Structure 1
Amino acid sequence: MEKTERIIFLIKFGQKKNLEKLRDNGEVYFKNTEEFNKIKKVNEEQGDENEGAIWIENLKDVKVTLNHPKIGEFNFKSVPNKFVKLTQFNHNYLTCSFYVVTDRDFNKSSEIEIDERMSELGEYALIITNPKNLIDSIFKQATSEKIALESKKVDYQDFSKEGKIHITPFLKKIEHSYQNEFRFVLKNCIEKSKVLTCKEIEPSGIIIPTVKNKKLQFKIN
């Protein structure tokens, strides 16, 4: 995110009980990237087969030869004019993401709409109106636990082109750009999940229900 872009508020979608833990107790839940690979099978919006990847490579006309000592040799060819994707993973970090709204979102209008697909991430949304307090608290807690932490707005890119594409935790496929993520990454962590208990954010946190397949609208007065 450029220095001139200022965060207005952050939004977390999820189950009400988990959002209350975040708002009332400051419990920030981080998840291993492999979990998002698994979720992809049941939730297209929340899951991502590229999470944890350090590069992917799209290849055409792939030929593979397999030699077996008893059965012999087998030759395989990819489907003509279709890509075969190779992926190299390194699942050594945990992530936690929020939907971010910045001053740039209101450059053209005093109203914004959040994509209806975000309702697939949870039946409720926690709106954090003092994002600096939350961000500072997360960094303070990570420092106290001696965990390397990085955060910034996610960039989105087309991963369908031919060749090798290098990926970072802050680069995701263009199909997920509607999620407009501000992401926190705990580095060098191999646990399946972790909770950082930070300063309470209750005074600036509002929980509202989401409506299935309906846009969430905000207006700045």
Structure 2
Amino acid sequence: MNKTIKVPPILIKIGRKEDLVKLQQLGQVYFGMFEGYRTQEKEDIDLDQTDFYRRDSLEGLERRFSGSGSIRFKSKDQKDVTINIPEMKLNLFQNKYSHLYCLYAIPNVIDDTYKIDSKMLKFGESALIITKPLEFLERLIGKMESNYDMDHVSYYDNCPMFDGKYEIFQKQKTFEYQNEFRIAANLIEDNSVFIGDITDISILLDSQSLLELEYKIQS
């Protein structure tokens, strides 16, 4: 990977306490399978509320075509014939990375009115605040044995008509409250990368506390 990204001042992982203890004390960075982030809508399959908030049915979409209309023509007996064309969709998914690791990123520019959306609490009862994101990412990169990429996620409008390319670092605007920073990789033997104890650069607390913290980045 050869690009420059702006590292967030704070990264946060929200989840189950037992998983975050493993992350903090063992340095177990668990990557989810890319396929796991694409699902049908909540009513189509039996998902719990956490999965519903976490997942995007268009995750990793590279091209989406859709449209509707009608065709009008004259039959052999000169009668007008109209054929209505329903909305048609063709979703093509293709990405070179098989695994994702997702974190909440405090923006680089905020004021003292900044608040984390309460919907983030649906991801788990605990939160691990990464106080030195650059150090965390450098430790992770040092242990990566496969191709990887990382960046802030940008969010696009949920428009029904689209003919273009959605990148791996793009999601529907519905998920904008997640302020996501993600790391994409190809992991072959294991879904986890172990980077060692990160107690020195992290703080574990109840996720509810995120709504009560005061955020202010010095200029």
TM-score (norm 2): 0.78
Which residue of structure 2 aligns with residue 102 of structure 1?
107
* CA distance, structure 2, for counterparts of residue 179 and residue 118 of structure 1: 7
* CA distance, structure 1, for counterparts of residue 33 and residue 7 of structure 2: 28
Which residue of structure 2 aligns with residue 15 of structure 1?
16
Which residue of structure 1 aligns with residue 34 of structure 2?
33
Return the letter of the residue paired with 1:112.
Answer: Y
CA contact (8 A) 2:25 2:196 kept: no
What residue ranges of structure 2 are gaps of 5+ in the alignment?
72-82
Map residues 76-87 of structure 1 onto 2, 5 A cutoff. 77-78=85-86, 83-87=87-91
Report the alpha carbon displacement of residue 95 of structure 1 after superposing the two structures with TM: 0.5
Is 1:208 paired with 2:218?
Answer: no
State the secondary structure of the residue aligned to 2:109.
Answer: helix
Is 1:24 paired with 2:20?
Answer: no
Report the alpha carbon displacement of residue 207 of structure 1 after superposing the two structures with TM: 1.4
> Structure 1 190/156 Cα, relative in aligned 2: closer, same or farther at 3 Å?
farther
* CA distance, structure 1, for counterparts of residue 200 and residue 92 of structure 2: 43
* CA distance, structure 2, for counterparts of residue 172 and residue 216 of structure 1: 27
Between structure 1 and structure 2, the one with the greater Rg is: 2
> Structure 1 28/39 Cα, relative in aligned 2: closer, same or farther at 3 Å?
farther
Return the letter of the residue paired with 1:184.
Answer: I
Which residue of structure 2 aligns with residue 55 of structure 1?
63
CA contact (8 A) 1:29 1:195 kept: yes
TM-score (norm 1): 0.77
Q: Among residues 47, 54, 71, which one is paired with 1:46 in the alignment?
A: 54
Which residue of structure 2 aligns with residue 219 of structure 1?
215
* CA distance, structure 2, for counterparts of residue 199 and residue 101 of structure 1: 24
Which residue of structure 1 aligns with residue 134 of structure 2?
132
CA contact (8 A) 2:67 2:88 kept: yes
> Structure 1 6/140 Cα, relative in aligned 2: closer, same or farther at 3 Å?
closer
The number of residues matched between the two structures is: 196
Report the alpha carbon displacement of residue 165 of structure 1 after superposing the two structures with TM: 3.0
Residue identity over aligned pairs, in percent, reads: 24
Return the structure number with greater strand share: 1
> Structure 1 207/55 Cα, relative in aligned 2: closer, same or farther at 3 Å?
same
Q: Among residues 93, 113, 116, which one is paired with 2:98 in the alignment?
A: 93
